[in-house]
Structure 1
């Protein structure tokens, strides 16, 4: 037999030995949990139920890996998870390509844009984790949604920074609203987080109407303030540039998102028909992602036009102070969530 044939025979022998190890690999896969059968609302704790959603619930109290694997299983949180999960790489790649194709070597002037990008990725990631893992336990449910509210506060202030430094007009900045804008946006961002955490902690299902007020009033005030530089610009200037249309779209998409967040439709009209696809919260996620995408495009276009004037108009110290307040807001929101989580732990210990 030739040396070449002997070499091929040796290679085949090694390959068969490798194939012999496949049963061990198969055995490892068999250890993974099988797809979970979903449950009707009557078979899960009240905490995990959603109004007018009658089926498709994952069993509570399973190992975390079961909920991670539920990414690929059919249940009533699936679209809520995937809407924001898919948006994370899209947002990341958009900023990556923008940074690669643009001259961003402008020092301090880029800081608000970076913080805005970070805030967008944060709220999308924390929302994904909350909807994916919240059924693990009562403590996990509360803790993850508290973090979700932290993400909302961070995103609110990230938007405020981008709108203030890249999208505002001089006349607006000299107004009373412009003067109090940055500290007001930071305070309302924290208040939104604290109020939503309190409402989550304080009220049990069926939720009273004033629980929704605790969620909507602070977040609405924060949004009205955060969008005010954009609204002023849309009202006072002709829409001759593409970023004006994008800003108008982000406002329109947010308004639609707010409606579906506030009202459990269409599932209220068709109980049980929207359990897997078509819930109001899913539609809320879709419109919120569309809002974010339009906002990113508009802010990037505004930044490219304003980048050479940002330091001259605002001053480096103002940008650095706003950047520092961003991290103070993050810290305050996390501390608020931690305090609320401690309250949940004490309640659960008393219950046990």
Structure 2
């Protein structure tokens, strides 16, 4: 038989559980075997100073934290109430699931037009980008939902988050390289190889434990900005090989430009913690730099999808014109 008594002590956020274990002897005497004192936390949300050291990442976000749970159930239960990670979770979870649905139905059933020259590779390339977007956004959402489980799980899902970003950048670059150099395949192979090498280097770096340190925040942001802007190399090559107007059409440069703008500005806001650096505590639940970054990533990914579809259409219209001229 076990009897549990609860005695409230100390601060509002904590309580002491006195767990007393009893047993019954053969002659019917009740014996006290042990008493265990366990400190538990009953509040849903905590302030920055109430967190364990490993959870303290941004001291400018003062309130609204889900404290270390050591429970998968409590992590998933946090989806049902509002806290300072809720916007981070849902701004990537919902678009991520939408991309997955598009991955299943978008290319061959809904929006993408079919041309006589359309092949299975076109569907693979477009789905390849959608897969990268799905992995990135859902991986990010999982990190923000599950990182409060424990320090080990936070480090694990943080790496998943970073690898997801690398997947998105890689899939974005390769999808446009395919259409940008559809008639010069050797260039596509060379630049794809360069992208994969950079992706591998980035992956090795993000799996290093030191990369997670909070003082690495600007370096983390800069790291991904450099990788993403490596697209400048094939674009400049295209400007040399083709004329400016054709480059605009081949990779839908205006949409790529908007995509780059949202990614870079979002990363800079995140890296320098704008706007909460100007008003600590004011953006605890809504409007923090990380939340803005999430929204900008989604907008940037939509511009890239528009660019991929536009490049696909330009490629096949060009091929159809060439085929008609030959005939």
Partner of 2:268: 259
Higher share of residues assigned helix: 1
Deviation at 1:242, TM superposition (A): 11
Q: 1:138 aligns with which of 132, 146, 151?
A: 151
- Written as runs of structure 1 = structure 2, the 5 A alignment for 1:119-134 is 119-134=132-147
Check whether the contact 2:221–2:270 (CA below 8 A) recurs between aligned residues.
no
Instruction: Report the TM-score, using the length of structure 1 for normalisation.
Output: 0.67
| 1:195 corresponds to 2:208 | no
Partner SS for 2:207: helix
How many correspondences in the alignment? 269
Pick from 41, 52, 74 the counterpart of residue 45 of structure 1: 52
Show the counterpart of 1:277.
286
How far residue 297 of structure 1 moved from its aligned partner, in angstroms, is 1.3
Candidates 222, 226, 230, aligned match of 2:227 = 222
Q: Check if 1:296 corresponds to 2:305.
A: yes
Which of these residues, 155, 163, 175, is aligned with residue 162 of structure 1?
175
Residue 140 to residue 202, structure 1, CA distance change in 2 (3 Å): same
Task: Point out where structure 2 has 5 or more consecutive residues left out of the alignment.
Answer: 1-41, 320-327
Aligned CA-pair RMSD: 3.1
Q: Would the alpha carbon gap of residues 82 and 301 (structure 1) be closer, same or farther in structure 2, given more than 3 Å must change?
A: same
Aligned partners of 1:64 and 1:133 also within 8 Å = yes
**Which whole-Å CA distance do the structure 2 matches of 1:236 and 1:110 have between them?**
27
Query: Structure 1 residue 182 and structure 2 residue 187: aligned?
Result: no
Does the residue aligned with 1:81 lie in a helix, a strand or coil?
A: helix
**Contact kept? 1:168, 1:229, Cα under 8 Å:** no
C-alpha distance in 1, partners of 2:218/2:268? 14
Counterpart residue number, 2:322: none
Q: 2:218–2:271: 8 Å Cα contact kept in structure 1?
A: no
Give the aligned partner of residue 87 of structure 1. Answer: 95
How far did residue 231 of structure 1 move?
6.5
Cα shift at 1:55:
1.1
- Structure 1 residue runs without a partner (length 5+): 1-34, 311-352
Q: Deviations over 1:106-126 (max 9, x none)?
A: 123432222211111101110
Counterpart in 2 of 1:100?
A: 109
Say if 1:214 and 1:119 are closer, same or farther in 2 by CA, change over 3 A. Answer: same
Q: Who is 1:315 aligned against?
A: none
TM-score by length of 2: 0.72
Give 3-state SS (helix, strand or coil) of 2:287's partner.
coil
Q: Is the 8 A contact 1:191 1:218 kept in 2?
A: no
User: Residues 185-209 of structure 1, C-alpha deviation per residue, up to 9 Å, x if partnerless?
Assistant: 11111222222232xx22786x44x
Which residue number in structure 2 is paired with residue 63 of structure 1?
Answer: 71
Work out the CA distance in 2 between the residues paired with 1:159 and 1:125: 16
Rate the CA distance shift 1:309–1:192 in 2: closer, same or farther, 3 A: farther
Structure with bigger RCO (C-alpha 8 Å, 6+ apart): 1
Quickly say closer, same or farther: Cα 1:245–1:221, change in 2 above 3 A.
Answer: closer
Q: Could you list the per-position Cα deviations for residues 70-125 of structure 1 after superposition, in whole angstroms to 9, with x for gaps in the alignment?
A: 12212111110011011123323445234214338612343222221111110111
Structure of higher CA gyration radius:
2
- Judge conservation of contact 2:71–2:149 (CA < 8 Å) in 1: yes
